[in-house]
Amino acid sequence: MKELSLHLLDIVKNSTAAGASLVRVELTEAEDHTLTVVIADNGRGMSPEMLAAVSDPFTTTRTTRKVGLGIPLYRLAAEQTGGSVTLESTEGVGTTVTAVFHLDHLDCAPLGDLPGTAALLIQGSPQIDFRFSHATPRGSYVLDTQEMREMLGPEVPLDAPEVFAWVTEYLAEQEAGI
Ligand SMILES: Nc1ncnc2c1ncn2[C@@H]1O[C@H](COP(=O)(O)OP(=O)(O)OP(=O)(O)O)[C@@H](O)[C@H]1O
Ligand SMILES: [Mg+2]
């Protein structure tokens, strides 16, 4: 079973491919064991036709346009748990992908390595700003690369190996606390 963080990697790649300069990745776990994942970007967005094609798995299989598997597989992973994926997109403004997973469902994939995934995304697109947050009923944390840039100063790029190590360690610590 694929880990949810690998799906996140896929969906955030769509945002970076769409020319986003800022991507928000928000995980919220509720008392009722649902996990809501919001991935919001300020990339080029989609035309209404493209949005319809990407949103409807039955349309996409019949279209001649090349449409990939990232979103359909993400949708499958969410729907297998009794959840859903919804897309909102405006051309020239951005795209928001909201997924709901039922964590207590037998077919829910494990979250996987969230710290490693976030570190990989930052290292892979050091010019893009990310805002990661994870909230559970026990606590929450935020990692904002805009704040990191201010702390690190202009000499340290976000793809420096020591930044990768710091992000991984920091997020692992934060994950352990919530
Ligand atoms: N955040 C986004 N912003 C703009 N367009 C998007 C976004 N996410 C998806 N799309 C559009 O929807 C299409 C389908 O996305 P999907 O992730 O399902 O497949 P893919 O990225 O084309 O291929 P794959 O993910 O399999 O490598 C993309 O090719 C892109 O045109
Ligand atoms: Mg994709």
Using one digit for the tens of pLDDT, what is the confidence trace for 89-118?
Answer: 999 999 999 999 999 999 999 999 999 999
| CA 144 – ligand 2 centroid, Å | 23
The DSSP code sequence of 49-80 is HHHHHHH-HHHHHH-SS---SHHHHHHHHHHT
Instruction: Please report, for the chain, the start and end positions of each structural domain, with discontinuous segments joined by +.
Output: 4-176
User: Pocket residues for ligand 1 (CB within 6 Å)?
Assistant: 10, 14-15, 18, 41, 43-46, 50, 54, 67-72, 95
Residue nearest to atom 6 of ligand 1 (CA): 14
101 φ, ψ (degrees, to nearest 5): -115, 145
- The helix (H) or strand (E) run that includes residue 168 is helix 161-176
Tell me the pTM.
Answer: 0.95
Using one digit for the tens of pLDDT, what is the confidence trace for 115-146?
Answer: 999 999 999 999 999 999 999 999 999 999 99
Fold (CATH) for 4-176 = Heat Shock Protein 90 (3.30.565)
